[in-house]
Amino acid sequence: MTGIEKTAQDTVGAPGRAGEGLDARLVVERGSFRLDVALTASPGDVVALLGPNGAGKTTALRALAGLVPLTDGHLRLDGAELDRTPPESRPVGVVFQDYLLFPHLTALDNVAFGPRCHGATKAQARAQAAEWLERMSLAAHAGAKPRRLSGGQAQRVALARALATHPRLLLLDEPLAALDARTRLDVRAQLRHHLADFEAVAVLVTHDPLDAMVLADHLVVIEDGRIVQEGTPADIARHPRTDYIAHLVGLNLYRGQAEGHTVRLDGAPAVTITTTEALTGPAFVAFPPSAVTLHRDRPTGSSARNLWRCEVAGLETHGDQIRAALTGELPLAADLTTVAAAELDLRPGGTVWATVKAAQTHAYPA
């Protein structure tokens, strides 16, 4: 079963059937920082905690594993209360960010460590470990010490080690962050495959929206210790509710008051955006940078109602595109081709006119 099929089938994020799955409210206070997030997931779900550094994602993961005590809240897994259970007694497996494979043990013994702690004899534990390594296509590296493994192999050994204890909750902390770009692509695909096979709840932490969208079927966006938005990847990509998410998914996002097809921006009431959708009250307006057209001179006879005078703040290459960061009446990101940029003679500090067709904007209630 692939992740996409699963998304279609399950009502992801709803509390599990008959108390199955994860039901948690994690409150952790540390000095002035307070984490307060509620997480629910059914068996088979892959939930991604997405957020900027320092948002509290890893703290949430450590709280789930029992490595950080809860200040308040609750943690139920398959109906069992876990908030007072020590980490070694929780049916939880963790893949740490830098894997933390025991350097003095071979890949096989790393994977056998969990079963051994759960009462298997040495021979049984090793046999199970060998099976897991086989499943991860790592049988050839069973005797290798962790420092002899490549990043991708180490990641799979760490995954096998976590899965070998048959956890009911699998936690992955930035599972791809330690890999270089090329390995990352392969490992991401493999990890997606293994997560799709996993029958219990998986929670992964990442700051990379692509990882989150590829691997998870439910995203929880955390900022400053609180959930700012959650939903399916597609939903979040289409309807971002904070600047952080909008930036992640590459959208221009504005918040304002809607009156029919016009949204008057909060904080800059003189600026309006004309939209396709007719709304009333608080609203978000989003449009992609590719929807922005730039002009050297004020366009005349343009049908676009959304016209702003901007100053070029910076230019960045993205593949064969150039992304221009614009300030002025409206802070904007605009994508244009290298040729267009040359014709417009764009340079930081220069003035341009930006237009956006109403048809390319997307407004939704805040």
Partner 1 sequence: MTSPSSPSPSRPSPSRPSPDKAGAADTLTGGRRRRRVRLRGGAPLPLLLPALIGLAFLVLPLVALLIRAPWRSMPDLLTSTEVWQALQLSLVCATAATVVSLVIGVPLAWLLARVEFRGRGLVRALVTLPLVLPPVVGGVALLMALGRNGVVGRWLDDWFGVTLPFTTAGVVVAEAFVAMPFLVISVEGTLRAADPRYEEAATTLGASRFTAFRRVTLPLIAPGIAAGAVLAWARALGEFGATITFAGNFPGRTQTMPLAVYLALQSDPEAAIALSLVLLAVSVAVLAGLRDRWMTAS
Least Cα distance to 304 among 350, 361, 251, 256 occurs for 361
Query: In angstroms, how far is CA 136 from the centroid of its own chain?
Result: 24
Q: Which of 16, 43, 44, 93 is in the footprint of partner 1 by CB under 8 A?
A: 93
**What minimum distance in Å lies between the beta carbon of 102 and partner 1?**
6
Interaction between residue 165 and partner 1 (CB under 8 A): yes
Instruction: Give the residue with the Cβ less far from partner 1, 157 or 213.
Output: 157
Q: Which of 32, 53, 88, 347 is in the footprint of partner 1 by CB under 8 A?
A: 88
CB 61 within 8 A of CB 28: no
**What minimum distance in Å lies between the beta carbon of 333 and partner 1?**
39
Instruction: Give the residue with the Cβ less far from partner 1, 114 or 152.
Output: 114
Q: How many residues bind partner 1 (CB under 8 A)?
A: 23
CA distances from 230 to 4, 100, 215, 234, 355 (A): 17, 30, 15, 11, 31
CB 28 within 8 A of CB 34: yes
Interaction between residue 94 and partner 1 (CB under 8 A): yes
Interaction between residue 117 and partner 1 (CB under 8 A): yes
Q: Alpha-carbon distance 5 to 124, whole Å?
A: 36
Residues numbered 238 to 297 that lie near partner 1 (CB under 8 A) are none
Q: Which of 4, 30, 102, 351 is in the footprint of partner 1 by CB under 8 A?
A: 102
Q: Which of 103, 301, 319, 349 is in the footprint of partner 1 by CB under 8 A?
A: 103
Instruction: Give the residue with the Cβ less far from partner 1, 22 or 279.
Output: 22
DSSP 315-364: EEEETTEEEEEEEESS-EEEEEEHHHHHHHT--TT-EEEEEE-GGG-EEE
Query: Which stretch, 33-41, 94-102, 238-246, 286-294, contacts partner 1 (CB under 8 A)?
Result: 94-102
DSSP 185-215: HHHHHHHHHHHHH--SEEEEEES-HHHHHHH
**What minimum distance in Å lies between the beta carbon of 165 and partner 1?**
6
β-pairing verdict for 80-81 and 226-231: unpaired
Instruction: Give the residue with the Cβ less far from partner 1, 84 or 118.
Output: 118
For CA atoms 122, 123, 129, 133, the dihedral sign is positive
Interaction between residue 65 and partner 1 (CB under 8 A): yes
Q: Read off the amino acid at residue 185.
A: L
Interaction between residue 100 and partner 1 (CB under 8 A): yes
**Cβ neighbours for 204, distance < 8 A, ≥ 6 positions apart:** 46, 47, 48, 49, 171, 172, 173, 175, 211, 212, 215, 216
Interaction between residue 118 and partner 1 (CB under 8 A): yes
**What minimum distance in Å lies between the beta carbon of 293 and partner 1?**
51
Instruction: Give the residue with the Cβ less far from partner 1, 49 or 68.
Output: 68
For CA atoms 46, 47, 48, 54, the dihedral sign is negative
Interaction between residue 146 and partner 1 (CB under 8 A): no
Interaction between residue 31 and partner 1 (CB under 8 A): no
CB 273 within 8 A of CB 261: no
Question: Quick one: DSSP state of residue 280?
Answer: E
**What minimum distance in Å lies between the beta carbon of 132 and partner 1?**
13
Interaction between residue 86 and partner 1 (CB under 8 A): yes
DSSP helix/strand/coil, 277: strand
Query: Which stretch, 28-36, 99-107, 292-300, 347-355, contacts partner 1 (CB under 8 A)?
Result: 99-107
Residues near partner 1, by CB under 8 A:
65-67, 86-90, 92-94, 96, 100, 102-104, 113-114, 117-118, 161-162, 165
